[in-house]
Chain A
Amino acid sequence: AQKITQTQPGMFVQEKEAVTLDCTYDTSDPSYGLFWYKQPSSGEMIFLIYQGSYDQQNATEGRYSLNFQKARKSANLVISASQLGDSAMYFCAMGPDTGNQFYFGTGTSLTVIP
């Protein structure tokens, strides 16, 4: 069975600082993808970054980077130079490379403090 765990229900970070949001997962699939989504208060789900299980390098997308440690089954999201607009819920999700459903963690609420 697939399972995603986000142990930080809420996080605070000072503007312009970096923050790490934790995500661990459990799966028996040999191939899978790990995703991070941002959900602001307006409700939409915004794709941030993806890491494939066979990717050798950690994914980066602008200020977002994914610290992927396969042996530890963790896929932490690092946001650098936090901005006020980064305040939102962040969900870690996992899906097989061949499609079908995503499994979501319970989310982390990030608040950026001016």
Chain B
Amino acid sequence: AAGVIQSPRHLIKEKRETATLKCYPIPRHDTVYWYQQGPGQDPQFLISFYEKMQSDKGSIPDRFSAQQFSDYHSELNMSSLELGDSALYFCASSKYGGNGYNEQFFGPGTRLTVL
């Protein structure tokens, strides 16, 4: 079965650079979520989109922005990168209202290292 695809899997950037992370949800899933997991931490919710509209917002810095496109893929844009942005970034997708609950399927993550 198709899973959530994230690219790139690994990314190394310098401070103050920009980065773009991409997420391709499971086919027919209409909701995308972004999470940030720092070293030794639990995943923290950043932002979510439903049908290309932002549906919820968590602890996403102002330096970050995200959008969901017409084909339902999503991109997380990160500017003015800081050392503290080094983390594993997960994308998850779900089908709204599917199966009576909202199971989120996680992608493999993008490991961002800021030097």
Contact = CB atoms under 8 A, between A and B. Distances in A.
Interface stretch (A14-22, A71-79, A99-107): A99-107
Contacts, number: 69
B99 to A, nearest CB: 9
A91 B42 CA distance: 8
A103 to B, nearest CB: 8
B105 interface: yes
Q: Which of B41, B48, B55, B106 has the most CB of A within 10 A?
A: B106
A79 B90 CA distance: 25
Contacts of B105: 47
Interface string B44-71: 1100101000011010000000000000
A56 B24 CA distance: 35
Q: Is the interface of A mostly helix, strand, loop or mixed?
A: loop
A36 B106 CA distance: 12
Nearest to B50: A99
Contacts of A100: 48, 55-56, 102
Nearest to A97: B101
B7 interface: no
Contact of B108 (A43, A50, A106): A43
A96 B109 CA distance: 23
B102 A43 contact: no
B33 interface: yes
A91 B97 CA distance: 23
Interface string A26-53: 0000000101010000011111001010
Nearest to A91: B42
A52 to B, nearest CB: 6
A50 B43 contact: no
Given A33-B102, A52-B101, A105 B42 contact: yes
B106 A44 contact: yes
B36 to A, nearest CB: 11
